[in-house]
Amino acid sequence: MKKIVFALTILLSLNLFAGSIHQEQALTERLKTLLSEQKYPLYYSESFMALCNDWKNTNLMFFVADGYDKLGNLYREKSILLRALKLTPEDTRLKDRLNDVENRINKIEKKIEMLEQKPKDLQVYLQLAAIYIGLKDLSNARNYLSKAGKVESSRRNIIHKILYDTYTKQIEIPTKQAINMSMNALTEYENGNKEKAYSMFRDALAFSISSPFVYDNLAEMLIREKNYGGAIRALEESFELQKDASKAIDLGNLYFLMKDYNEAFNYFEQATKLNGNASEAYYNMALCLEKLGDKKGADEYYKIAFRQNPKLKELKKKGSPIFIKGIKIETGKNTK
């Protein structure tokens, strides 16, 4: 009887493995079709949503990176390639891609540096705005278009009008639509319509990659689903767009849940750099070092945390649940 059960278990595992391979092959073919049809926004969004369900899949990370490339955001492409290389440091495909992206970024940054050293006039502002529009950088594009608009001659400048229209149609309006779609998607999820919510988040990301709020809302849904790996990927993108101490703490907590204490420590440390009074971050850095066996280092960070917030001493005695984006996390359960 034991032999039969063992054989059935092996057979089930093989079937599940075969099914998983088939699903990944089907997804790959779907992404290749979208790429060949030049449907780049959907190519990116489907890649990213798939990555959220398989957060350490470096093939999917490569597709996401390629999606960023096709949409023009080289900095986000570089970031996800670096994350992928942490998982597979010897992957030559990722290394070659990263090298190419870094070379292109260097050329752009030299161009930006050269322009910023020139006397500020309408033409300089317009050139800088054009670069940031191409990078899908909402904040900087808006900033330089605003500066250009304050120059008297801009009212008669056709290039300023074209760039402003391009920014409005390609970045500003789609971003507002994406934010609304992501909020509606979260509502659908809360109403029990999970498949519709996933589809709406996919569509929101196809509309715009420029808002941290879209990724924040996606992360909230994935946390409620206990898909903490997927939530990490969503929050990482949000953090790229908006460097915020609370996001860094949320990411640190998620990595802590996944037992990656080094990466958790890194994000808690970033939180302290963004907010020197982030006592929670110092406290959590101490927890990470305890897990890593560094008691002396942990004690130093506990001292900083307790000095900033004496109430944390009581917390250390009693222990406490983890909250991420206001959601109470039951540790040790259903992590993906």
* Each residue's pLDDT tens digit, 288-326: 999 999 999 999 999 999 999 998 888 777 666 677 777
- Domain assignment of residue 329, yes or no: yes
Residue 167, phi then psi, degrees to nearest 5: -60, -45
Please report, rounded to a whole number, the percentage of residues in the chain having pLDDT higher than 90.
Answer: 78
291 part of a folded domain: yes
- pLDDT mean over 151-173: 90
Position 271 in a domain:
yes
Least confident range of 13-22, 124-133, 143-152, 181-190: 13-22
For 27-47, write each residue's pLDDT tens digit. Answer: 889 999 999 999 999 999 999
If one counts the domains in the chain, the total is: 1
Say how far apart CA 27 and CA 254 lie, in whole Å. Answer: 27
The pLDDT of residue 336 is 55
CATH of the domain at 315: 1.25.40.10
Secondary structure (3-state) at 200: helix
Kindly state whether residue 174 falls inside one of the protein's structural domains. no
Confidence of residue 143 (pLDDT cuts 50, 70, 90): very high
In a domain, 118, yes or no: no
Of 55, 104, 43, the C-alpha closest to 80 is 55
SS3 12: helix
* 74 vs 2, more confident: 74
Which is more confidently placed, 335 or 144?
144
Q: Of 179, 244, 243, 169, whose CA–CA distance to 209 is shortest?
A: 179
Q: Is pLDDT of 12 > 50?
A: no
| Residues spanned by the domain of 308 | 251-336
Kindly state whether residue 206 falls inside one of the protein's structural domains: no
Lowest mean pLDDT among 52-61, 116-125, 210-219, 233-242: 116-125
Q: Which of 184-188, 205-209, 276-280 has the lowest mean pLDDT?
A: 276-280
Average of pLDDT values for 87-94?
97
For the ranges 76-80, 152-156, 158-162, 265-269, the lowest mean pLDDT is seen at: 152-156
Q: Are 45 and 206 in contact (CB under 8 A)?
A: yes
Is 70 exceeded by the pLDDT of residue 71? yes
| pLDDT over 70 (residue 7) | no
Establish if 318 belongs to a structural domain.
yes
Rounded to 5°, angle at Cα 194 from 192 and 199: 140
Give whole-number Cα distances, 199 to 46, 134, 203, 264, in Å: 9, 27, 6, 30
What does the buried/exposed string (b/e) look like for 64-87 if buried means 16 or more CB atoms within 10 Å of the residue's CB? Answer: bbbbbbbbbbbebbbbbbebbbee
Residue 156's pLDDT band, with cuts at 50, 70 and 90, is confident
Model confidence band, residue 20 (pLDDT cutoffs 50, 70, 90): low
Residue 323 lies in a domain: yes
What is the reported pLDDT for 320? 64
pLDDT at 321: 63
CA distances from 111 to 105, 106, 135, 261 (A): 10, 9, 13, 39
Statement: residue 3 has pLDDT above 50: no
Question: 64 near 80, Cβ under 8 Å?
Answer: yes
At 24 the pLDDT is 80
Q: How much is the pLDDT for 118?
A: 93
Quote the pLDDT of residue 23.
Answer: 80
